């Protein structure tokens, strides 16, 4: 801050000294030179110059149209999915407690084989068909009692 103030003061002193060294006639001639009308750039030349700013236009991409013949799927007999209604109550030490019995990976339940176990669900598989059982989520209810 102090340096900038010092520089400004020095510049002010130099300009005062320089102004004092000029005669009145020199100052008037300088002012008259400034007052003269200057021609500048011809407007026609200015208008014919190209725009210096590049404008990027994203190229328009037309989507490719692919015509494909999709065959109708063969009519199959209706697949009846058997109900798989079992209750998973717990998973503990790589075993699942289902309908009152413990099952490990590889055990069978009906025609399904237990293939994987998560934190709160198990997956049974029969061929390509998969069935998932999950531990039911319990909603906690809070009952507030008034105190006398």
**Is it the case that residue 96 has pLDDT exceeding 90?**
yes
35 pLDDT tier (thresholds 50, 70, 90): confident
Residue 42 maps to a domain: no
Residue 70 maps to a domain: no
pLDDT at 84: 75
Q: Where are the alpha helices (DSSP H) in the chain?
A: 2-21, 24-35, 43-48
11 pLDDT tier (thresholds 50, 70, 90): low
Residue 59 maps to a domain: no
**Is it the case that residue 61 has pLDDT exceeding 90?**
no
Q: What is the DSSP string of the chain?
A: -HHHHHHHHHHHHHHHHHHHHS-HHHHHHHHHHHHSPP----HHHHHHSPPSS----PPP-PPPP-----PPPPP-PPPPPPP----EEEEETTEEEETTEEE-TT-EETTEEEEEE-SSEEEEEETTEEEEEEPPPPPP--------
**Is it the case that residue 147 has pLDDT exceeding 60?**
yes
The structure tokens listed for 66 are 């692919």
Residue 96 maps to a domain: yes
Residue 76 maps to a domain: no
Contact (Cβ atoms closer than 8 angstroms) between residue 105 and residue 99: no
Mean pLDDT of 9-26: 68
Residue 60 maps to a domain: no
Domain span at residue 17? 2-35
79 pLDDT tier (thresholds 50, 70, 90): low
pLDDT at 17: 57
Residue 107 maps to a domain: yes
Q: How many structural domains does the chain have?
A: 2
Residue 126 maps to a domain: yes
Highest-pLDDT range among 32-36, 77-81, 131-135: 131-135
């Amino acid at each position: 801050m102090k340096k900038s103030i010092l520089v400004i003061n020095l510049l002010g002193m130099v300009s005062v000294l320089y102004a004092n060294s000029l005669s009145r006639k020199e100052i008037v001639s300088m002012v008259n030179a400034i007052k003269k009308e200057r021609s500048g750039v011809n407007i026609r030349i200015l208008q014919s110059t190209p725009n210096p700013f590049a404008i990027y236009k994203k190229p328009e991409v037309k989507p490719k149209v692919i015509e494909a013949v999709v065959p109708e799927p063969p009519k199959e007999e209706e697949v009846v999915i058997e109900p798989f209604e079992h209750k998973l109550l717990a998973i503990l030490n790589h075993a699942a407690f289902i309908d009152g019995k413990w099952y490990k990976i590889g055990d069978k339940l009906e025609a399904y084989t237990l293939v994987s176990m998560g934190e709160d669900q198990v997956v049974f598989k029969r061929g390509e068909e998969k069935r998932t059982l999950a531990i039911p989520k319990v909603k906690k209810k809070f009952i507030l009692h008034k105190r006398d």
